[in-house]
Every structure is written in C-alpha cells, then in structure tokens.
Structure 1
Amino acid sequence: MISVQLPNGRQYEFRHAVFDFNGTLAEEGRISEDVRRLLVELSATIQVSVITADTFGLARQALADLPGVELIILEPGQDGTEKARYVQTWGSEHTVVIGNGVNDQPMFFIAGLRICVLGPEGAGACLLSLANVVVQSPVEAIKLLLQPQRLIATLRS
C-alpha cells in the first residue's frame, strides 16, 4: 500500500495503480528499460495493472516477463468505460490512475488520484483538467508513487 498524508489532513491510501499503455508507458508501443524496472519495483508495493486497447499490438510482448504487472487488453469495441469498470471494481478511492488518452477520461472521473503523462505522444486536453498531477514521462509518474512524499508539495492546499 502507498500512503500519503497531506498537511491539510487529507489521507490517501492506494492499493492499486492502473496504467494506460500507449502514450503513457510506451511510445509507439515500445517501453523503455527504465520503465520496465520501475514497474517491477512498484509492483512490490502496490498492485499494478496496465489496461490498454493496444493500438500498436506490442503490449503483451513488452510486459510479458514483468513479475507483478497485470496486463488487460481491451476487446475491440470496448472503451474507457471498461477501464473505469475495473477501477470501480478494485475500489476507486484506493486506486491511482495514470494515463494520457481521451479513453482514460472515465477512470479519471472516479479514481482517488489521477496522474496525466504529457509525453511525446501528447495528452487528451480533457485529462489536463481532471488530473491531480501532470508529469512529462512515465518514469516521473512511477517515481511519484515510489517516493510518495514527492506528492505532498504538489497536492498540498
């Protein structure tokens, strides 16, 4: 579990991290070794799931050998409402979501903490107003969770 106590008394307790794949963890379907290493490190602390439509068809290969990282590939025709359904099932208040695309919006509406990755593939403008934190890379997003005291300066009121 990841616990963050803000100075204003707000307490966050996260048990699950849900990542989008393309544009969030991966660029053009490819994931860096740093991101792979950090995902495994994070999975020792919190349940890690990657939910993706897998636009480039490379998610299974990229994440296959990462212990503790669950991959969920959406069926054709499924959209962001399916991502939100998973978040709700796992407990939205105790879930942090990390994404960049318009199809991440439904899970951003309900999650306890929302991190938008504004990387080389851009981000849906709708996520910027829903995000609690915006970062430039997946490495930065994962490090926020691995070192949660970094969140205090950004989230304090």
Structure 2
Amino acid sequence: MIRVEIAGFTYLGLDHLILPLRAGVLAADGRALGGVPERLAMLARQLKIHVLADPADARMGAMLDGVPCKWVSLPHLGQAEAKRNYVEQVGVDHAAAIGHGRGDVPMLEAAALGIAIFGGLGLSCEAARHADLAVRHTVDALGLLLWPDRLIQSLTLSTDNAGVAGAH
C-alpha cells in the first residue's frame, strides 16, 4: 500500500495500479519502454499491478516477464467502459491509473489518482482534463508512486501545509 496525504487535495491509500499495455503507455514499436519494467517491478512490492490488454496484444506480454502483475483481457469493443468497470471492480478509492488516450478517460476519471502521460504518441486533451496530473513519460508517472513526495509537490494546494507520505 502507498499512503499519501496531500494538503488541499485528498488522502490516498493506494493498493492497485492499473494501466493499459498498448503503445505509448507501456510499449512502443512492440518493446517495453525503457525503465518501465524495472520501475513496475519495484512498485509491485507496494501495489498490485494490473495490465489491461486487448486480446490481440497478448503476444506482447513477454516484454514484462519477471514483473509480478495481473493480466486482464479487455473486449475489443467498448474498452473505455471496460477500463472504468475494472477500476470500479478493484475499488476506485484504492486505485491509481495511468493513460493518455480518449479511451483512458473513464479509467482516469474513476481512479482515486489518475495520471496522464504525454509520451511519444501525445496526450488527448480530454484525458488531460480528467486526470489529476500529467507527466511526460510512464517512467515519470511510476516515479510519482515510488517517491510519493513528488505527488505531494505536484498536488498540494498550498505550500503552507506539507503533506505526509509513506509506503507500507
């Protein structure tokens, strides 16, 4: 669990990280993005990692060999709502989600913490509006969770009240 109290925002008690396998979030050109498997492996000590994949992407699973995570197959049609439903299934109050496309909006909106990434494919304006914060790369998003003081710095309403972070 990752616990973070953010002044003027909320208290986060995160147990789950949910992210899509598709290009731009975990992979590019059929390969894992640099640094992502290593950081996911570190986070797996604190959070349950859920990778959402289209059945057509199943062959890409090997890129995360050695990373303890749960693979979730999504229907080919209706993936946006399936992502939201999955966040609701694991518990919205205890889930963080990472995404960048319009199809990620329901998931980013539902999660206690939604992180949008720019990545090499860009960031949809709609995803940016519904996320709690945006970063340039998945590695940066994972870093926010590994080092929660970074979340506090980004989301604290006022510098007068410092948040308290701790990973358990």
Give the TM-score normalised by the residue count of structure 2: 0.85
Cα pair 1:27 1:121 within 8 Å, conserved: no
Larger Rg: 2
Deviates more, 1:96-105 or 1:23-32: 23-32
Cα pair 1:29 1:55 within 8 Å, conserved: no
Let me know the Cα RMSD of the aligned residues: 1.8
Structure whose residues are more often strand by fraction:
2
Unaligned runs of 5+ in 2: 158-168
The aligned runs of 1:88-107 (5 Å cut-off) are 88-107=88-107
Deviates more, 1:52-61 or 1:31-40: 52-61
Give the TM-score normalised by the residue count of structure 1: 0.90
The aligned runs of 1:45-124 (5 Å cut-off) are 45-53=46-54, 58-63=59-64, 65-124=65-124
1:26 aligned residue? 27
Deviation per CA, 1:13-36: give whole Å up to 9, x if none: 111000122211212332135111
1:145 aligned residue? 145
The aligned runs of 1:5-16 (5 Å cut-off) are 5-8=5-8, 10-16=10-16
Cα pair 1:25 1:138 within 8 Å, conserved: yes
2:161 aligned residue? none
Q: Distance in 2 between matches of 1:101 and 1:67?
A: 24
Cα pair 2:55 2:76 within 8 Å, conserved: no
- Give the partner amino acid of 2:2: I
Over 3 Å counting, the alpha-carbon distance change for 1:67 and 1:27 in structure 2 is: closer
Q: Distance in 2 between matches of 1:61 and 1:75?
A: 20
Aligned length: 156
- Give the partner amino acid of 2:31: R
Cα pair 2:37 2:67 within 8 Å, conserved: no
Over 3 Å counting, the alpha-carbon distance change for 1:9 and 1:113 in structure 2 is: closer
Cα pair 1:28 1:56 within 8 Å, conserved: no
